[in-house]
Structure 1
């Protein structure tokens, strides 16, 4: 049911959280925030809000122990004003530079591949010529052996 269940199972903690949070925090001794978050987690199938609430509580307790004010609020990002125009422009410029760099890299790799292919063709042609030279030399060697053997036979007579 929960997205995070696989993580919990992998970490050996699958039994720590019930599959449905509704109704288990009805006790009046439990903070209303916990009840709301648990219900939301149950509806949405995510544990992230429950983890945030736990972190908030730990921060509050730590500040309380130090005698500091311990009010902690989670601010939700404002979707409309997340990035300033300068940030958006900087992001756009970075994206353009990245695209240019990627294009340049792809072109360089393509040129290197073409060069390697040319070199391979050149070496294959050279290999063919060398094999032909070897055949010619072996043929010449065989003719010389035949000539020497004929010469030796005539001298022996």
Structure 2
């Protein structure tokens, strides 16, 4: 499964989440990173152990958190794993049929998270020193042309 960077994240959904979370965005995204790593690991371990039931909750969790940030392909893949695991539980079958989806999950999570973190970071590319205001000290103001003590 391969996606281009522009299709990994629904940017209007991301912007909405960023607007709602405000200054808490980096912290909440950090929770998504931690929870996502745990969920992906739990899904992989359940797959290795052929534990169909063990796929459901971490896939469900990852689906919801990814959707919150606009990582829709990741959310869709986690949802597919969740629903297929539920179906396999009903039929009392093992999860060999979803191995390919489980294998695709970690790279998709990693790529999606990298894009989300890049956009959430206020010091991302293009926001370098030119965007900072000079530190002037008390009672001083910036002068045009950077003159020293000139009005």
Shorter-chain TM-score category? under 0.3
Tell which structure's C-alpha radius of gyration is larger: 1
TM-score, scaled relative to structure 2: 0.26
TM-score, scaled relative to structure 1: 0.25
Instruction: Return the structure number with greater relative CO, CA threshold 8 A, min gap 6.
Output: 2
